[in-house]
Amino acid sequence: MTASDLAALIRSRQPCVALTGAGVSTESGIPDFRSPTGVWAQYDPMEYATIQAFDGDPEKVWSFYALRFHALAEAVPNDAHRALAELENRGLVRAVVTQNIDLLHERAGTHELVEVHGSIRTCICRGCGATYELEHVRRLLDGGSAPRCEACGTILKPNVVMFGELLPFEAIDRAYALAREASLLLVVGSTLEVTPVSLLPWETVRAGGSVAIVNLGPTAFDDQAVMKVEGRAGEVLSAVAELLA
Ligand SMILES: [Zn+2]
């Protein structure tokens, strides 16, 4: 299957909702931190990315998140993010549901964005409830230690979903509603292995819609999808956006 097949499918099956995972951001130099290789390989997620680890030793967890915050904050959107924003502008993509926390869809211009794993946009103080914006947190991180609330001294928590934490209810509720409304759910750069996002394609199919997949490598939903385009997200989606221009 090629980009032109996918472009025709998107045009004929509206509304289309996009569901994106780590694969759309790898071309922005952001490795999937669950992958066994790359810069995050030395950090065991159980030790650095669970809510239990954060509650037990937030300083240690921040030693990991500080690196991620800086890397993510410096990253720029790629062709995949730009193509999805363009398709939304033309009324061909209703919304983007993403597992990514990197803000790149927003920076590319996507308006209807559902971040089911939260994002690095803000941190929260669990002591007094204060919210801190990314740039403020990065300034607090400059001192080299975990960022603390300026009002009460509590170590801040990133508003990203850590392992062992519940997903933000409102976001996941909206994601399910969008999946049900979609005539086409366009899955990009996700292997669909992490629940509950992995359940969204089933939600679409149960409601009578179809699922198309753009991914490098197999996904858990390949056998059920009406179309699979094997390839890099940026290449495939920019070709699709051009065909639909
Ligand atoms: Zn506070």
Measured in Å, residue 160 CA sits from the centre of ligand 1 at: 18
pLDDT at position 42: 74
Measured in Å, residue 50 CA sits from the centre of ligand 1 at: 21
Neighbours of ion ligand 1 (CB under 5 A): 125, 127-128, 130, 149, 151-152, 154
pLDDT in tens, 98-152: 999 999 999 999 999 999 999 999 999 999 999 999 999 999 998 788 999 999 9
Measured in Å, residue 28 CA sits from the centre of ligand 1 at: 34
pLDDT in tens, 156-199: 999 999 989 988 899 999 999 999 999 999 999 999 988 888 99
Measured in Å, residue 123 CA sits from the centre of ligand 1 at: 11
* In the block, residue with structure tokens 């993510």: 72
Burial class of residue 71 (count of CB atoms within 10 Å of its CB; 0-12, 13-18, 19+): middle
SS3 category, 152: coil
* Residue 70: active-site member: no
Measured in Å, residue 70 CA sits from the centre of ligand 1 at: 23
What is the distance between the alpha carbons of residues 19 and 115, in angstroms, rounded to a whole number?
A: 10
Catalytic residue among 81, 105, 111, 117: 117
